[in-house]
Amino acid sequence: MTRVAVLGAGMAGLTLAGRLAANADVTVFEKSRGYGGRLATRRAPPFAFDHGAQFFTARTAGFREFLAPLIEAGVVDTWLARFTELGASEPPLTRQWVREVPHYVGRPGMSAIGRHLADGLDVRLRTRVAGLGREGGGWRLSDDGEQDLGYYDWVLATAPAAQTATLLPPEFDGQARLADARMLGCFALMLGFEQSPDLPFDAALVRGSRLSWISVDSSKPGRSAAPRLVALASNAWAEAHMERPLEEVRKTLCDELEELIGRSLPPADVAEVHRWRYANIPSQSGPRSLLDARMRLGACGDWCVYGRVEGAYLSATDLADRLLPLLDGPETRRNPGPSGRTARN
């Protein structure tokens, strides 16, 4: 069976691996210690913060079909938030999100989605692929300690565009597209309290501010009652201050948050900031994925479509659909795999 390496265990990587698993021997390599990428949850007991994607929607029939079993399993739920907009010239107007226009979250945290999708897959956590060496018609992978990770017929990268461009060789014919896909950064401010801030909303879109979003994280379904907030910096402000010390970022964003809500917050038991260098990208034109059949390399991610969870899913399914007819094709040759095994090329 064709051996495929998928680099990254976020939504794109896990979706891609799941689609290919019945037709190939798939291994997923993930540099971090957890699944899900920006479907992320940070734990600081008794608090847990969704510090990446805050929620997601499903615009396409394919993504709604993909979500149906996750909803049935209780891994995905609908967030019925009190929603408002802040920073506009008009007084804020709060409205209730409804089930008929669902805003989805993972349950009991966003990272639950990645764990669920990884079930049954061969995922190697805390393994950074740093080297790709051409061998026969395929690729020999190595980690950042130059340890051999095995031979693979195909290598498919799902990391952010800038990281994928560095990892894949210059000869990959998707390099120009990777160079054009400029992702924007973000900071996530996480605040946990003993005393509730008692805000008049659960979710707020913010305009004209250093912040772009505020979530009362404890209002999401399946969460503990421990009061907590997550506030996201605007992409423009984050890009301008990406190398700033996190303590300075924390203070600036806390001050901005208090100014927006018009009062001081209670003392925070937890106050942390996470730096996302690659967090968002506007809607993209062109192919939804990149595939170089000659070099047996591919790439996908939300940066091919738009910076949303659904964008990652759409890109991954597009790459899988393009690749499946090529697996175990007529040009397959046999090459030595790791530990004396045989991998077909």
pLDDT tens digits for range 213-268: 999 999 999 999 999 999 999 999 999 999 999 999 999 999 999 999 999 999 99
pLDDT at residue 328, rounded to an integer: 73
- For 137-178, the pLDDT digits (tens) are 999 999 999 999 999 999 999 999 999 999 999 999 999 999
Q: Which residue has the tokens 């047996």?
A: 296
Pick the CATH number of 42-111+184-280 from 1.10.1060.10, 3.20.20.10, 3.40.50.1820, 3.90.660.10: 3.90.660.10
User: Is it the case that residue 34 has pLDDT exceeding 90?
Assistant: yes
User: Is it the case that residue 115 has pLDDT exceeding 60?
Assistant: yes
216 bridge partner residues: 229
User: Is it the case that residue 58 has pLDDT exceeding 90?
Assistant: yes
Neighbours of 253 (CB within 10 A): 24
pLDDT at residue 110, rounded to an integer: 98
CATH number of 3-31+127-181+286-344: 3.50.50.60
Cα end-to-end distance, the chain, whole Å: 9
pLDDT at residue 87, rounded to an integer: 84
Please report, rounded to a whole number, the percentage of residues in the chain having pLDDT higher than 70. 94
Task: Answer yes or no: are the C-beta atoms of 225 and 218 closer than 8 Å.
Answer: yes
Report residue 89's pLDDT band, with 50, 70 and 90 as the boundaries.
low
CB-count burial class (<10 Å; 0-12, 13-18, 19+) for 302: buried
Task: Find how far residue 114's CA is from the centre of its chain.
Answer: 9
Write out the two tokens for 72. 């049935």
192 bridge partner residues: 228, 270
User: Is it the case that residue 334 has pLDDT exceeding 90?
Assistant: no
pLDDT at residue 102, rounded to an integer: 96
pLDDT at residue 335, rounded to an integer: 36
Domain boundaries defined on the chain: 3-31+127-181+286-344, 42-111+184-280
State the amino acid at position 182 in one-letter form. R
Global pTM value: 0.92
Q: Which residue has the tokens 């007084």?
A: 91
> What's the mean per-residue pLDDT of the chain?
93
Q: Where are the alpha helices (DSSP H) in 169-296?
A: 175-180, 235-240, 246-261
